[in-house]
Amino acid sequence: MAVVSQAPGELGDAEIVAVSLRTPEAFGELFRRHAPRLHAYVRRRLGPVLADDLVSEAFATAFRQRGRFDGRAEFGAWLWGIASNLIAKHHRHETRMYRAFARTGVDPAEDGVAERAGDRAAAAALGPELAKALASLSAQERDAVLLLAWAEMSYGEIAAALGLPLGTVKAKIHRARTKLRKALPQEENDG
């Protein structure tokens, strides 16, 4: 078995995908590497209830389609593309969630555990306005800006994940930021 001769941590993602075609259990290393970051992003997008299911579904799809992975993009970008497509299927639910947040001020994606206190306080202050602004964006604008903000992906990673040209991603993020700035109250700066 190829994975035994080389520790999984020593192999690149594309190599692990290739090994997993002969030794399916090797694919577990890709889950270990990518699931936490993907889960955190999906949880912010769809809430904790759907995050586990969607991440599982994304990895199951990637596993089933691993023979199609050609290595032109990084495995992570390919996986995020799969997840983005699954999120698109939940788009109507997501839009309803943001509209409810805008009406009530209660974030349905918040599970009560603050990962970063400052971010939570800022989000709480802007919650309904931010939710309304996010709901007003097109699906692709929202996907691009949230992949940048919540998943901390680069423009190139976002382009690969969404299957869009880099220039298109930059334009969508620029438009989304412009719309969000107009919709959200401006902070006062003293210095």
Give the pLDDT confidence of 101-111 residue by residue, as tens digits: 777 776 665 54
Q: Is the pLDDT of residue 69 over 90?
A: yes
Domains, the chain: 11-111+119-183 (1.20.140)
- Predicted TM-score (pTM) of the model is 0.55
pLDDT digits (tens, 9 = 90+) for 125-183: 566 777 888 888 888 899 898 888 888 888 888 998 889 999 999 999 999 888 888 88
**Long-range contact set of residues 147-151: C-beta below 8 Å, sequence gap at least 24:** 147/41, 147/80, 147/84, 148/173, 150/40, 150/41, 150/44, 150/45, 151/37, 151/40, 151/41, 151/80
